[in-house]
A and B are shown apart, each in its own frame.
Chain A
Amino acid sequence: MWVIYTLNGLYFAALLFLTSLGLNIILGVMGILNLAHGSLYAIGAFIAAWTIIQIVGKVPVFILFVSLLSGLVLAGIVGFLMEKSLIRAMYKRTLEYQLLLTFGALLLLEDVIKMIWGGQAYYASAPFELLGKVDILGHVYPIYFLFVMFITFLAGLFIWFFMGRTKLGIMLRAISLDREMATGLGLDIGRLSTFAFVLGSGLAGLAGALVVPTTPALLGIGMEPLILAFIVVVVGGLGSLKGALVGALLVGFTRSFGIAIIPEIELPLLFMIAGIILVVKPQGLFGR
Chain B
Amino acid sequence: MNHIKNASDAASRVNMLTRVIGRLKPVILGTAGTMFLASCATNAPQDTWQPKGPNAQKIDSLQKPVFAVAGIIGLIVAAAVTYSIIKFRDRGQPIPKQSHGNPALEITLTIIPALILAVVGVFTFRTVFDLNKTSDTQMIINVTGQQWWWEYDYPANNEYGITQPIITSGQLVIPVGTKVMLRETSRDVIHSYWIPALNGKRDAVPGRITINRIEADEPGIYAGQCTEFCGLSHANMRMEAVALSKEDFAKWVANQLKPYAAPAEGTLAKEGETVFLNQCTRCHQVNGLTRADGTPVIAAPDENVWSGAVPNLSHLMSRNTFAGAMFDLLTPECRNDVWKSDSASFGAKYLAGVSEPCLNQTDLRGWLRNAPAKKPMYANPAQLAATGGKYRGMPNLGLSESDIEKLVAYLLTLK
Q: Determine if chain A interacts with chain B.
A: no
